[in-house]
Amino acid sequence: MGILDPYKGFGVTFSTMFKKPTTEQYPEEKKPTAPRFHGRHQLNRHPDGLEKCVGCELCAWACPADAIYVEGADNTEEQRYSPGERYGRVYQINYLRCILCGLCIEACPTRALTMTNDYELADDSRTDLIFTKEQLLAPLGEGMTAPPHPMFLGDSETDYYRFDPDRAGPFDASGLSGAGADAPGLDSEPEPAR
Ligand code: SF4
Ligand code: SF4
C-alpha cells in the first residue's frame, strides 16, 4: 500500500459527501424502463382474438427455474381457442421462481409468449404470485372476439401466420393494415410501465 492510498480513499468519501443525493420517489413517480426490459409475461392473441399458444410446453421445458406449468388440450370445431389442433388449457407462471431470464420466450415457436415492461411483481401472498392463464392473456384489442370461436382469418394455422386481410372471411379486417408481423395482435405488448 502506498503512502498516499489512505488519502485517495478519503478523497472518494469527501467527494461523495458533497454530491446531491439521488432519491427515487417510487412508487409515486415511476421511471420508464429500457424498452427491452424483461418484465411480466404476456400470452398474445391473433388479430381475431384466438390465442397464439398451442400448448406445446416448450417454454416450460426451456425454463431453468421450473417456473412454468402448461397443460395442452385439443381444440374442437365447437370449442376453438387457437387455430390448429391444440391450445394451452392450463397455463401458469410461478413468479416466486421466475428469474425473468427470457429463455421461455426464446423457446416459444409461435411468439405466443413475450415479456412486458411491468416489473411490479411484489406481493405478500405466495398463492397470488402464481399467475394463471387468465392473468397472463393479452386483453382483447379492437376487432377481437373472446374465444372460443371459429377461425375467422382462414382455414389453417398457416393462414394465421401468413395473415392476409383480403382472405379474412367474416372477420372485419378493415381496421388492420399490412400482414404478417405488422398485423395488430401479433406482438401486442402493452406500453412500457411508467
Ligand atoms: S423468464 Fe426464465 S425463469 Fe422466468 S419463466 Fe421464463 S425461462 Fe423461466
Ligand atoms: S407459450 Fe409458446 S412455448 Fe409455451 S406452450 Fe404456448 S406455444 Fe408452446
The secondary structure of residue 44, as a DSSP letter, is: -
Question: Among 57, 58, 61, 68, which is best to mutate for testing ligand 2, by the most ligand atoms less than 8 A from CB?
Answer: 58
Closest CA to 64 of 97, 86, 42: 97
pLDDT tens digits, one per residue of 110-150: 999 999 999 999 999 999 999 999 999 999 999 899 999 99
- What gap in Å lies between CA 118 and CA 39, rounded to an integer? 5
Compute the distance between CA of residue 26 and CA of residue 12 in angstroms, rounded to an integer: 28
- What cell does 69 get? 406449468
Predicted local distance difference test score (pLDDT) of residue 191: 41
CA angle 84/115/48 to nearest 5° reads: 35
Q: Note if the bond before 27 is cis, omega within 30 degrees.
A: yes
Q: Is 112 in the pocket of ligand 2 (CB under 6 A)?
A: yes
Where does 10-166 show beta strands of DSSP type E?
Answer: 41-43, 68-74, 86-94, 113-115, 130-131
**CB of 70 sitting under 6 A from ligand 2:** yes
Cα(42) to centroid(ligand 2), Å? 11
Looking at ligand 1, which residue's alpha carbon is closest to its atom 4?
98
Which residue would you say has higher pLDDT here, 179 or 140? 140
- pLDDT at position 106 over 80: yes
**Whose grid coordinates read 375467422?**
152
Domains parsed from the chain with CATH numbers: 40-182 (3.30.70.3270)
Whose C-alpha lies nearest to ligand 2, atom 8? 56
Q: CB within 6 Å of ligand 1 — which residues?
A: 62-63, 65, 67-68, 93, 98-104
What average pLDDT does the segment 50-54 reach? Answer: 97
Look at the block and give the residue holding cell 382474438.
49
DSSP-derived 3-state class of residue 92: strand
Ligand at shortest distance from the CA of 110: 2
Indicate which residue's Cα is closest to atom 2 of ligand 2: 108
